Structure formats: structure tokens, C-alpha cells
Amino acid sequence: MTDPTMIHLRRGHTSLVLDARGPELPRVVHWGTDLGPVPADDLPALVDATVPPVVPSSFDAPTVLSLLPEASAGWSGRPGLAGHRHGRDWSTAFRLDTIDVDDPRDDVGDAVRVPGEEDDRGGVGAARVTVRATDPGVGLTLTIEVTLDPVGVLTVRHRLRNDADQPYEVRELTPTLPVPAVATELLDLTGRWCRERAPQRHPWPHGAWVREGRHGRTGHDATLLLVAGTAGFGFGHGEVWAVHTAWSGDHVTVAERRPTGESTLGGGELLAPGEIVLGPGEEYATPLLYAVHSTAGLDGLSDLLHTHLRARPEHPRTPRPVTLNVWEAVYFDHDLDRLRTLADRAAEVGVERFVLDDGWFTGRRHDRAGLGDWQVDADVWPAGLGPLIEHVRGHGMQFGLWVEPEMVNPDSDLFRAHPDWVLTAPGRLPLPWRHQQVLDLANPAAYAHLLDRLDALLTGNPGISYLKWDHNRDLTEAGHAGRPGVHGQTLAAYRLLDELRAGHPHLEIESCSSGGARVDLEILRRTDRVWASDTNDALERLSIQRWTGLLLPPELIGTHIGPGRSHTTGRVHTLGFRAVTALFGHHGIEWDIVTIDAEERAELTAWVALHKRLRPLLHTGRVVRIDHPDPAVQAHGVVAHDRSRAVYAVSRLATSATQTPGPVRLPGLDPARRYAVRPAEGVPEPAAMQITGPRWLPTVTLPGSVLATVGLHLPALHPEQALLLEVDATD
């Protein structure tokens, strides 16, 4: 049995060692590479060896970093808890009351095997540690919940209860984990509308690297993962540690390195003044902090997270339907006959879900009116949505609908009747954003009205099986009853989604927030995919999807083939380039395919058929991203967990400084097996291959070790062209 004072948890390829011998909060001795089955007799020596020495001009006793950093323990960095009671009780000294360990691992028996693992390090089920501590002097109880799941994904949550008879304001409560000194570089993501998930990396200096999201939603610039790693880490190499703050409101993610030698990663909710004031007996719980470690670079982190997400009970279990969204085909111009024709063409090319976007509800002929009035517009749809739904379903396709429930236009019947149902600062409306304001979901009347309207919409149109749930503005000056309201709004949005899905259990929902501004693991407990970006420009999408995939597996990321000329950038791309880019995700189309000729329609049909053929691999396999030395080349793929087959895409982003960009390595294959590599069958090869050099026609058969180490010189491609390779084991 695990010693409750010296705890060693092992799951996947990860070990977590906690020291709970003293009266103080436990400290993390080790979080990272699996240490193997360390004998119980060796744990004290391991724990003692990691206690820092006493040094001159410092505290007279060793200072150690606990699960909640406290100034009373000598921590001079960012506090784990910041709060007060009218200026008092501002510093804590928690003392351990109880620690419960639930570790069902059987070290001598067979454990649950994680797909793709070479050996058995998993254990059975998740391991959990629950720490309860109190500080009677300030009247607070702290509960820390630590879980290590079967694949090695660690989660941490803090709960704080006010035990005194006076209110206590929580200003910050941030789960924090130590990282060893070998991690010397940081990587995270930033971005903007239509340019989400832009990577940025730099050396990890002394001080704090603080990423704050103050958008009232996750944000186009959300860091997604904050990664610390050894020098020069990449997709396929290096030791890396990363955290993700699972919260769809204001949040903070922090990397801190102290001159005293400690390095930490952490994250939590970013609270406004007065937002969380605990009355007697009330409790505040932090968002979950997800933490992952890998010795195999960024792809190792992604593999853990993807496996974790695919094991969730709520993860989609049915094939992800090829989706046509009508937005870039018709915009607000809704005409039944035109949409029926579009549905006919969609069915012909192999579409499985047809989504009617913005413009179907009362007064919605443009984006300046109608939000909040969730009734079908009788002027545009005199017979309701039924005729279109029946036509779509008659083709065997699912029917989906766009909604933006959390927003309201001032030019709407709802706003005119209830201007008090809006998140505001006292005495004024926030600055308008896309001609809209935000409904205050923490207002019980507003919440009940919205739930009733959405329920009536779905009940009255049972053919609707999918909602594209949009959220098109930041929450600025978001006040509820005179106080900051983002926390309450976020929880109410979760509750709304939960109640709606409980009443309509077969409903699927997409998280769209003017593209990729609400992408996090808490919203994904309630939704079935995210819309990564409002741009369908294939060149932009290559990077956006590559880095969104750092956190999410392909089947959760909406990836559509847009028009030849991009709606958001004006770039013109071939169908082949757009199709290869959109292949690796929850595939779809956003394009007026009624207007294309028969030849292009036949090519589109072939690409849709190819996606369906590859879908079982794309949506279950291990994602690999290739560290190619030429920045003009981007390559990635998906490899089956048994490594029997794979598919890779190689894309030319620009011209190279050299005549050829060099061989492209194909990672992830079994080095001992032989593989046949060929261009994807059933779709045209890039036309540029015929212009810039000889076509690459023959199948190449080589061992996996050669393909991963030497690679292949591929045919020359023009910029913004892509080649798709299928790889199959020959034995």
C-alpha cells in the first residue's frame, strides 16, 4: 500500500511523488518521467535528497514549495492564494488535517494498457490524492484534489471554504506545480481573429511569464498550453512539461522562475475585485489545471491529451459526419429553393450533415438586428424550417442550425422588452461589438427565458440534431447586479449547455466563438467539436490547425474546404491544397458548390470519399508533426496505434532558399517493419508536380527505420501546394 506520508503515483509514463511527512501542506517532490517501482524503503531517501540546502542570507531552515505556495513557508513568488477580510487575514499558514490516497494500481498484475505503449506502466484506473488542511487563525479550510489518470494526465483543483462568520474575498487561487531546472525554454500560443494559435517561444528567464485572458471567454489569444522544456525541444524530441487552464472565462496561466532556484507552472481563474466573496460556510473551487509531461517532445504531450480526451464518456463515439455549413454560400440570403438545391449538391458530393447558419430568425437580414429573438422568421420561412429539414433528412443527411444564445442586439424585441437583462457596468452599456451586447445569464429570468426558447426550438423541430453555438464578442464591463459578472456568466453558460443537452440527449453542439475564441477543456465537456477559426484560407489554417492540435485530437476540430478565393484573406488556392488541409479534422465544406462545374464537383466528391475512407485512421490514430529544417515546408500525419498504416501531408508554404527542401522524414512508424509509401489514391496529384519536375509515381518500400531517419525526397511543389501520402505495412 502507498505510504500516506510519502506518496508515489505512477500512470502511463509519468510519476508523481508527494512528501506529506510534515504538518505543512504536501510538496511535489517529482512530477515527470516514470521512476519505475521505487521500493517503499527508498522513498525517504528520494524525498530527503530533493530538499534544498540552507544557504547564507536566507531563512534558517530549508524552504520548500508546497502544493499551495505560501509566504509563511518562505515563498517569495506569486502567491497560491491571495485574499482578505476587509484587509485582514491576508496571509495563511495551512496545516495538514487529512490526506486520502486512492491508488488502485496492482504492481504485480496486468494493468490497463494505453494504446501505443510499449510496456506496462499504466496501473488500473486513475489514482487520486485528496488533501484537507485548515488555518484556524484565518478561518479557512483548503481541499486539494490531485488526479493522475491511466495515461499520465495530471489534474489539480483547489477548493477553499470560509469557516469564519465574516466574508472572505478571494482575489486569486492558483494551482501550481514545480518543474525541474533542466526546462530552460517556454512556448505558448497567441493570436487574433482569423489568426489564432500563433506560437511564440523564448528562453525562460528569472521572473514570471504571465498570460492573462481578460476577454470573458477563452480568447483568440489564449495560450492553450503553456509549455516548458529542455533547450531546443521540438515536436518529436526533448523533455517537456505543460499546463492548461480549463476555464471559458477570464483566466491566468503562469510560468515563474525564482532566483532561489524554483521553477513553476500554474494556472487558474482571473478574478475581478469583489467577484468572489465567500459568506460563512461558502466555498470556491478553481478550474481544473491539466498538467502533462513527455520525454518525446510536443507530440508526446499531444498523444497524452488526445488519449485522455478520447477516453472520456462524453467523447463522440460515432463517425464525425462530413458537414456542409451554408454561411459562405448564402450568408443572410435565405431562400428555400436555393437552399434545397444546395442540399441536393451536398448530398451528391457525400455530405452527411447540412447546417443552416445565421439569418433564419426574426428580423435577421444582417448582423445589426434580431439576436435574442429566437423564433423562425415567418417572412422568410412562412412554413417554418420544416420543409428544409425534411428535404435535408430526405437525402439521409443530418440537419444543424446556427445559434448565438448568449448575445443580444439592441435592435431586437428581447432587448426592447428587457434592457435590464444585459451585462453592464452601473449606469452605462459596454461598448458595442458587432452591434451586440451580452445577456446576463446569471439573471434567473433571462436564463429561464433563453432555456425555454432553445428548448421550444428543438422540441418544435425534432429534426435538428446539431447546434453551431456561436459567441461573437468579448465580455467587457460585464457586470451583474453592480458587481463583476464574468465568473457567474461562465458558470451559467455551462449550466445552460448542460440542461439543454439533458433535455435533448442526442443533440450535438459545436463551440464556435467568432472562430477559435472558446477552445478549452471545460467547454469541451459540453460540446462535440470546436470551430478553430473563422478563416477557411488553407494557408492560414495549416498553422491554426497544427497548433490547435497540440491540445485537441483531429475529430474535435472543425476543418472545412472553403471557396477558391478566401472570404477572409482574398487568397486563391487550388481545390487540392484546400482539401488536403481540411482532411485532417472534422471534415466539411463551406462553399457555394451549386456554382461549381461538373469537373470540380467530381474532384470534390473524390476528396470527400477519401476522407471517409481515411476517417477511421484520422480520428483514432496518433498525431505526428514533422520537425523539418526548411520553414517553407510543413509536414504532419496520423499513425495507427498498431503502426500498421499512416497518412502524411506535406505542404509547401513558400519558396525555399535552396533548390530542394531536403528529404522529409516520416516519424511514428515501427522501425522493424517495412512500409509501402505512395501518393493517396483516388484524388488528383498536385498539378505543380507535373510542372516543376517529373511525377513521383512508383511506390517506395522501405523499413520504418529508414523512413523515419533518412526520409524521402519528394517531388517539387509550387508554393501553396500539398502532397498526400498513404503508408501501409507490407508484412
For the annotated catalytic residues, the residue numbers are 470, 534
DSSP state of 302: H
CA distance 414 to 419: 8
Exposure b/e, 4-34, CB count within 10 A at least 16 = b: ebbbbbbbbbbbbbbbbbeebbbbbbbbbeb
CA distance 269 to 282: 18
Q: Which region, left, alpha or beta, applies to residue 600 given φ > 0 means left and ψ of -120 to 50 means alpha?
A: alpha
SS (H, E, C) 304-340: HHHHHHHCCCCCCCCCCCCEEECHHHHCCCCCHHHHH
CA distance 122 to 579: 38
What letter represents residue 387's amino acid? Answer: P
Q: Are 660 and 713 in contact (CB under 8 A)?
A: yes
In angstroms, what CA-CA distances link 281 with 141, 144, 269, 278? 10, 17, 21, 8
| CA-wise closest residue to 603 among 636, 585, 637, 580 | 580
In angstroms, what CA-CA distances link 74 with 48, 51, 71, 394? 18, 14, 5, 69
Return the half-sphere exposure (C-beta side, CA atoms, 13 A cut-off) of residue 394. 9
Cell matching residue 661: 527542401
DSSP state of 555: G
Exposure b/e, 377-392, CB count within 10 A at least 16 = b: beebbeeebeebbebb
Task: Determine phi and psi for 399, rounding to 5 degrees.
Answer: -120, 130
Cell matching residue 537: 484560407
| CA-wise closest residue to 548 among 115, 254, 218, 316 | 218
CA distance 253 to 245: 7
CA distance 18 to 126: 16
Cell matching residue 725: 501520402
User: Which of helix, strand or coil describes residue 341?
Assistant: helix
Q: Which helix (H) or strand (E) holds 459?
A: helix 444-460
Q: Are 424 and 408 in contact (CB under 8 A)?
A: no
Edge to edge, what strands does the sheet with 6-11 contain? 6-11, 14-19, 27-33
Task: Determine phi and psi for 199, rounding to 5 degrees.
Answer: -75, 150
